[in-house]
Chains A and B, each alone.
Chain A
């Protein structure tokens, strides 16, 4: 099977063509403000470089940081109503209470508390009040809000109230996007609600972005199946991704760490992915990103997604270099995708880290004559500053004093030319497009989440049954049965229900079936 992996970052859009496990070609193009033209040009270049016709491609996997960046930068976010069902419970903490003020304002801080919700054992906290919800809908309509997130207490145990409230909002607000928290998260009200609200505020953007991807594939004549990568490194089809953009969060770091492992053949390492604006540092353990066990924040908002433990900081190939009274300052401001216009070596007027590296004679990009007269001390001090930033980040991700290698990937890898923190550096072939490789090798998952009665069934049997069903889902979604691995098992007993009911959730992943 011929596949294309694309990674759309804030600065660059990378693409690779892979035949099975072999990288045939890899390219890097600037990300464009409209997303689509950058993807089109990356697709065209990578097809040309591989010598393949568009019809030869069977499947396209796209990883995008677009939605994460929208939240982090507070842009293109829709005004969103966060409706919680649970009164009189939960009144002490309204929706979005633990959000940074600027993000809450960016989506309008429209929080509504309504009656509803279930107790842990399935009883009703208070009945759903249709008139109350119709009143809220009228208020939402009057404010011109078109995105709604509905979160009901204990909806992972009983989805009924969220579904009913969702239907009321869809009827009262034709064309509005309604996100139900039970479709996204697990038990943990604030974290699940946060994820649902973030998803809702991204729905307008997700339609635009997924349409742009679809149009880009059409424009290049690629008629292949088309997937997006999720935060755990697995695939979801485009239609699903449009409804659940929040599931793409952190897929970028996951893809680059998985790609780095694949390209280097190293299973235990620190991975440094240097982009145009930021660098991500994570740990590779047994070929997978080490997961964070504490609640992961995205754009300052706490979620309960399982995400790679990645440390991001403002160092990239486009980072601004400023020599001020306090010494050299590198980043976090970056020229981003305008690197090839604004950096000195590309004829621009802005001093960037790329200019420093070219001036030091460590990379050959643009016109090196334009940086020939840079002050030697400025070059030395900036390189020392960059080395210092990298060392701090790598030290933070080290688990032990063991001398693990550091795999350096990403377009900004030219900033690294020496050991980091005394550790050996590995720059694998195709290092610049490791994230696109990570997208291309993304796996398929299957998840089952259901309630078992443990009167006639043991816990192990229930988990075994759920595992079998999850495997069937993954295989139906295109996974190769013999590659299936269980990645997540969770069983939550639902006390005081007849029959010792237990909710079992199992997730499996496998490789996409390669014909």
Chain B
């Protein structure tokens, strides 16, 4: 990879948003709106450089911004535009620093694009990497916080001009709690900035290359469609993902609780999986896939639903009765699977203490039987 990085082109936005939607593992918000916003900014002359992680200097100051709220809201209450920029300015003022680049905390879904938008407004580059390698529903679930970033200060901004700075929070859970509460008060579509980080720290804990990974995944989907290849097969080949289930959505239950879309989807097997049933637990993202009652893939490994024929990533809010889906799994990055990380993003952290994380690529007996069906 060139240490100089590359300038994002308008033609990159569609594959980037498509790949980011897939890495959203069902959540992370719809990147379509963010893609349009980025397109508007690029068309008005903005330019954003994507910097490889190794091009970051140890004493650089790296900011991280993203949207916070509910995915179902983000497609309806579209942003004023500079929510994240106002939040960034909030933490910069509180720490008396100016950031020299931005990084996404969450490459999955719309938060892959939010830092790009803020970078376009502020004239900053964006680092090629993120803090999750996927999407997670809460702020503390990024490698930035898992590996010890001081959660103070944080800032949240709305469409109306309100900016709330969290001057001192004793840990990242308080930051998440306060921010979530205020995000709901702000209409569940706010901009958020966490404490700027030293370049050396970002280089150590960020999941590298994930913006480019999203671009390449999106490019593969578009290329497979253009050549009328089987999109799911091409994706499996490109990403090393495993196909766990093909089925039809038989029911979707969901409710909005505390700003999160909680629920589950029931699938009835088709094709090679005819006669089998699958269940996907959702908290914004896909958390656990059970096939015939046996857990087959679980968080933090990536569980992705694709429309069987088109390979379109199906987010949890797009799930509808009758859709035919392929459910695929990809192993999470090693930084997400350490004992420290699993405390924050393992099955127990999502309310499944009975499940012991069995990573993809290291098959347990349970996994072997699940794969066999």
Contacts and interface: CB of A to CB of B under 8 A. Distances in A.
A93 B33 contact: yes
B307 A88 contact: no
A308 interface: no
A194 B41 CA distance: 21
A189 B30 CA distance: 13
Contacts of B37: 92-93
A293 B307 contact: yes
Contacts of B366: none
B161 A293 contact: no
B78 A189 contact: yes
A494 B255 CA distance: 8
B334 interface: no
Contacts of B310: 293-294
Contacts of A108: none
A123 interface: yes
Interface string A378-413: 000000000000000001100100000000000000
Given A125-B77, A189-B78, A495-B256, 7 more contacts: A86-B77, A89-B79, A91-B80, A93-B40, A125-B187, A153-B77, A189-B77
B78 A93 contact: yes
Given A90-B80, A92-B81, A493-B255, A120 B70 contact: yes
A399 B75 contact: no
Contacts of A120: 70, 72-73, 76-77, 187-188
A120 B75 CA distance: 11
Interface in A118-137: 119-120, 123, 125-126
Interface stretch (B52-60, B140-148, B316-324, B337-345): B316-324
Interface of A (DSSP majority class): loop
Contacts of B75: 187-190
Nearest to A502: B255
B259 A89 contact: no
B33 to A, nearest CB: 7
Given A97-B40, A495-B256, A396 B228 contact: yes
Given A120-B187, A123-B187, A293-B323, A495 B257 contact: yes
Contacts of B253: 459
A293 B324 CA distance: 10
B312 A89 contact: no
A399 B72 CA distance: 30
Contacts of A126: 160
A89 B72 contact: no
Interface in A482-506: 489-496, 500, 502
Contact of A98 (B36, B77, B254): B36
**Closest 8 pairs between A and B when the two form their complex, measured CB to CB:** A92-B81, A495-B256, A89-B159, A119-B187, A90-B78, A493-B255, A493-B256, A120-B73
Interface string A176-188: 0000000000011
Given A120-B76, A189-B77, A495-B256, A89 B307 contact: no
B86 to A, nearest CB: 12
Contacts of B156: none
B36 A93 contact: yes
A117 interface: yes
B259 A495 contact: yes
A190 B73 CA distance: 13
Interface in B84-134: none
A154 interface: yes
B338 to A, nearest CB: 34
A359 B322 CA distance: 47
29 contacts: A86-B77, A88-B80, A89-B189, A90-B80, A92-B37, A93-B36, A93-B78, A97-B40, A120-B72, A120-B76, A120-B187, A125-B159, A126-B160, A153-B77, A153-B78, A187-B76, A190-B33, A190-B78, A293-B310, A293-B323, A294-B307, A399-B309, A459-B253, A489-B321, A492-B72, A495-B70, A495-B259, A500-B255, A502-B255
B241 interface: no
A422 B40 CA distance: 46
A93 B73 CA distance: 15
Interface residues of B, number: 39
Contacts of A123: 187
A291 B310 CA distance: 12
B314 interface: yes
Given A88-B161, A93-B37, A125-B187, A293 B79 contact: no
A89 B77 contact: yes
Interface of B: 33, 36-37, 40, 70, 72-73, 75-81, 159-161, 184, 187-189, 228, 253-257, 259, 307-310, 312, 314, 318, 320-323
A88 B257 CA distance: 26
B257 A92 contact: no
A496 B314 contact: no
Contacts of B33: 93, 190
Nearest to B81: A92
Contacts of A399: 308-309
A493 B254 contact: yes
Among the interface residues A89, A189, A491, which one has the most CB atoms of the partner chain B within 10 A? A89
Contacts of B161: 88
A267 to B, nearest CB: 16
A89 B256 contact: no
B77 A154 contact: yes
Contact of B76 (A97, A98, A189): A189
Contacts of A496: 184
A76 to B, nearest CB: 28
B79 A90 contact: yes
Contacts of A291: 322
A445 B37 CA distance: 38
Interface string A273-296: 000000000000000000101100
Contacts of A189: 75-78
Contacts of B78: 86, 89-90, 92-93, 153, 189-190
Nearest to A488: B321
Nearest to B308: A399
Interface in A73-119: 86, 88-93, 97-98, 117, 119
A93 B322 CA distance: 32
Contact of A89 (B187, B257, B318, B321): B187
B89 to A, nearest CB: 17
Contact of B40 (A92, A187, A190, A395): A92
A354 B321 CA distance: 43
B159 A88 contact: yes
A187 B228 CA distance: 32
A125 B79 CA distance: 12
A126 B189 CA distance: 15
A467 to B, nearest CB: 13
Nearest to A283: B309
Contacts of A491: 254
Chain A CB within 10 Å, residue with most, of B37, B256, B259, B312 = B256
A412 to B, nearest CB: 24
Contacts of B228: 395-396
A189 B318 CA distance: 15
Contacts of B309: 399
B77 A90 contact: yes
Contacts of B73: 120
Contacts of B70: 120, 495
A316 to B, nearest CB: 23
Contacts of B314: 293
A496 to B, nearest CB: 7
Contacts of A89: 77-80, 159, 187, 189
A97 B36 contact: yes
Nearest to B254: A493
Interface string A153-197: 110000000000000000000000000000000011110000000
Contacts of A154: 76-77
B11 to A, nearest CB: 16
